[in-house]
Structure 1
Amino acid sequence: MAFQHIKVIYPTAPARPYTPKNGALSTVWFDRYKISNDCPEHIESIDSMCQGLTELINDEAKNGIAKNRILIGGFSMGGGMAMHLAYRFHPDLAGVFALSSFLNKNSAVYQALKSTENVLPELFQCHGTADELVLCSWGEETNKMLKSLGVSTSLHIFPNLNHELSRTEIEQLKTWIVKKLPVDVSKTNE
């Protein structure tokens, strides 16, 4: 996705031993005990990645990008990582998008939001009904829980979409991004 007035950074998850693949190296943001929303989170690996990604956000802020002009998000585990990063460590960001993503039932995100008074970043979420890896019901449950904890959310369900992206989904995401980060008129007149 390209925008004239928005810098896009695509960080890549590192290769790490991944428990669902019997410890084989996999390019994933964090480890999981299993691919399920009904087990504990591997919080050590999640928090380690949050520290590294915080450096990326802080570098952009040092370069003059206001945190309320930064959106983060991702697909699958990348969306889960973005929700942890924003709602636990950076509630002053402009927004979060999570595509085919979920949080575990007792997520540290939910625990953090129970004790916050902050205005929280808006969540744009999409999920396919035919997703067999990350069940649509897990995404719906995540959305419902975040909404109950004060997050302004939108959830877009795509019939017959598996664990993949669709053109319609990408177009809706692009529309949301441009709405969240309009051209900064004060900078166009300089």
Structure 2
Amino acid sequence: MSLTPLTSVVFNPIKHHTATVVFSHGLGDSGDGISPAFLGLSKMLGHVKFVFPNAYDIDYLGENIEDRNEDEEGMLKSVRGLNGIIRDEVESGIPSNRIVIGGFSQGSAMALLVGLTSEYRFAGVAVNKIFKMTTDSNKGTPIFMAHGVIDAVVPYNFGKLSYEFLNSKGYSVNFKTYNTLSHSINAEELRDFAQFLKDVIPDV
């Protein structure tokens, strides 16, 4: 049975297209909902195409990381949809090492799942709020993680534990903490994300 392709909001590059960012939204949101926060970033990085998929929802993980209910079927369905977008970018001429996979909240879980299980070698993985299926393709890929200390939806400890786990497994993780940030994205985080993108997919 074939999977219906994900629809997406797309910010096309204003210069020669040499890199792509695929950024997934959180639970209950959409590509339309999250994309406006990145409009300035898109203009700053004119060589980058930004894709904001309208991803499938997966079940909320619950209050305690030990008791979370992982919706494996929903997650794998989303992974297949995201991999379809990535494959389209590669087939259009953008090498996988010029693609960054990112996400917010639920989308960050999907970014990690795609980034750590894909055979493609990505430029980077960016998440702001886990692995029997991991491959070595992205063992050395830079990972940008960001989390607000006062996040009441996805507790800060979840992000910290994820960072510590990935770090213990030898992944290259830069974990950013924002003391006054709740479950949202602010200007400071966007500035840090912009610098990360400039480092991993510089204009060429």
- Cα distance, 1:156 vs. partner? 0.7
Change (3 A) 1:58 1:13: same
Match of 2:65 in 1: 37
In structure 2, the residue corresponding to 1:127 is in which secondary structure?
strand
- Cα distance, 1:41 vs. partner? 1.5
Match of 1:139 in 2: 159
Normalized against structure 1, the TM-score is what? 0.78
- The gaps in structure 2 that reach 5 residues or longer are 1-40
Match of 1:9 in 2: 51
In structure 2, the residue corresponding to 1:143 is in which secondary structure?
helix
Q: What is the identity, as a one-letter code, of the residue corresponding to 1:5?
A: H
- Cα distance, 1:112 vs. partner? 3.0
Aligned length: 160
- For 1:90 and 1:8, the matched residues in 2 are separated by 22
Normalized against structure 2, the TM-score is what? 0.73
Cα RMSD for the two superposed structures: 1.6
Which protein shows a greater Rg?
1
Kindly provide the CA deviation profile for residues 133-170 of structure 1, in whole angstroms up to 9, marking residues without a partner as x: 11111100000101111210010101121111110110
> Which of 129, 135, 147 does residue 149 from structure 2 map onto?
129
Match of 2:7 in 1: none
Match of 2:100 in 1: 71
Counterparts of 1:25-64 in structure 2 under 5 Å? 28=57, 30-32=58-60, 34-38=62-66, 39-64=68-93
Match of 1:22 in 2: none
> Which of 154, 164, 183 does residue 184 from structure 2 map onto?
164
Change (3 A) 1:11 1:119: closer
Kindly provide the CA deviation profile for residues 76-132 of structure 1, in whole angstroms up to 9, marking residues without a partner as x: 111111000110124511111111x1xxxxx3xx3234xx44442211011111111
Identity of aligned residues (%): 27
In structure 2, the residue corresponding to 1:73 is in which secondary structure?
strand
- The gaps in structure 1 that reach 5 residues or longer are 15-27, 102-106, 185-190
Match of 2:203 in 1: 183
Relative contact order higher in (CA < 8 Å, ≥ 6 apart): 2
